[in-house]
Amino acid sequence: MLTDLGFTALQQAYASAAITPAQVMADIRIRAAQKADYNIWLHLLTEAEQAPYIEALAQKKPEEHPLWGIPFAIKDNIDLANIPTTAGCEAFAYTPNQSAQVVQQLIDAGAIPVGKTALDQFATGLNGTRSTIGPCHNSFNPEYISGGSSSGSAVALALGLCSFSLGTDTAGS
């Protein structure tokens, strides 16, 4: 499977038909499950939840959609339509009907969401330890925390589970 999720590597692999977006996303889901102990994902999208995004790519030309087939992670204080947003607090959870503008623009450009990442509750902590699933572990040494309220987004990217990730700088982390 493709291990380089860089934009250029993916675009070349897609252009040569060496791999499909569905295969990339399936591989990411498998590798994400293997890294579950890193506490990265508050909601990893299922194959069925990713299907509409992958199916929509059939109507989009890669040369007109610069992020065609590019996987991305979303910090769980940013909305993705029909997927719960918790901001790291189950009592706060709601399911939005539409995506945040930035998420929708990425999807419109052909990007595929991988899932919602862990964060310090309400994105206001500086070290990433106040999460409903426990602290997000450092990608270099899991005995350490990753730090920052966008810890899940950072670790998802560092471990190669997405090509880019969305985070926020709510409290100066």
By annotation, the residues acting in catalysis are 75, 149, 173
Give CA–CA dist 58/114, Å, rounded: 18
Query: Residue 111 to residues 7, 60, 65, 167: CA-CA distances in angstroms?
Result: 11, 11, 9, 16
Give CA–CA dist 90/149, Å, rounded: 17
Q: How many CB atoms lie within 10 A of CB 109?
A: 14
Helix (H) or strand (E) holding 144: none
Beta partners for 80? 83
